[in-house]
């Protein structure tokens, strides 16, 4: 396929462009920090974007293994699902890869040929769909996580009450008053 013949330099340029477009979706006061701060613990967001887009670029120009693409997309989608983005914007950064590809392609013979560009476009489209699925899953996950957290808060209380009531019933005593008292 024409894509595998694309030079490493072009691939690097594509990545740089894509990263720049993606960082452009963050407030301008922040995007430079996200791009330049190299400490992964001080800059977890920038680091996650960097590593994932790097991995995705390899897949785009290489084998495009669905499982691996999903694995690389996942951390970024997790991130953008909880940042202040609408659903469209949360996955929109994937589509921005097209923008990067176009910019790189414009540079003539050094860039990506028209045939390769088509393949790349198809792959990017597929990536968008995977991203949308992942985002869906993130939303479900958040919902489930919230529900589990609520359960954990009263986990002991519920079990303790069930046991206390069972014991009271076994003794034939009157039903017990609720343990929690509402503010009158």
Residues 107-136 that bind other proteins (CB under 8 A): 124-125, 128
Query: What are the angstrom distances between the C-alpha of 144 and each of 77, 85, 91, 148, 149?
Result: 17, 20, 21, 6, 9
CA distance linking residue 120 with residue 2, whole number of Å: 10
| Segment holding 34, helix H or strand E | helix 28-36
Using the rule CB under 8 A, which residue among 20, 85, 113, 126 binds other proteins?
85
Residue 63 interacting with other proteins (CB under 8 A)? no
Using the rule CB under 8 A, which residue among 1, 5, 148, 166 binds other proteins?
148
Using the rule CB under 8 A, which residue among 2, 20, 78, 119 binds other proteins?
78
**Shortest separation between residue 116's beta carbon and other proteins, angstroms:** 18
Using the rule CB under 8 A, which residue among 65, 118, 140, 141 binds other proteins?
141
**Shortest separation between residue 3's beta carbon and other proteins, angstroms:** 15
- Answer whether 34's CB lies under 8 Å from 140's CB: no
CA distance linking residue 145 with residue 176, whole number of Å: 32
């Amino acid at each position: 396929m024409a894509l595998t013949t694309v030079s490493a330099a072009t691939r690097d340029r594509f990545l740089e462009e894509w990263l720049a477009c993606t960082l452009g979706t963050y407030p301008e006061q922040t995007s430079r920090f996200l791009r330049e701060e190299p400490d992964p613990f001080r800059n977890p967001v920038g680091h996650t974007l960097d590593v994932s887009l790097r991995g995705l670029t390899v897949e785009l120009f290489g084998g495009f293994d669905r499982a691996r693409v999903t694995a690389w997309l996942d951390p970024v989608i997790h991130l953008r699902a909880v940042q202040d983005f609408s659903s469209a914007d949360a996955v929109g950064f994937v589509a921005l890869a097209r923008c990067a590809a176009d910019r790189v392609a414009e540079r003539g013979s050094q860039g990506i040929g028209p045939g390769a560009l088509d393949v790349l476009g198809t792959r990017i489209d597929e990536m968008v769909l995977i991203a949308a699925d992942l985002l869906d899953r993130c939303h479900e996950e958040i919902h489930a996580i919230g529900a589990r957290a609520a359960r954990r808060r009263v986990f002991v209380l519920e079990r303790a009450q069930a046991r206390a009531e069972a014991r009271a019933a076994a003794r034939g005593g009157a039903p017990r008053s609720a343990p929690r008292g509402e503010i009158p």
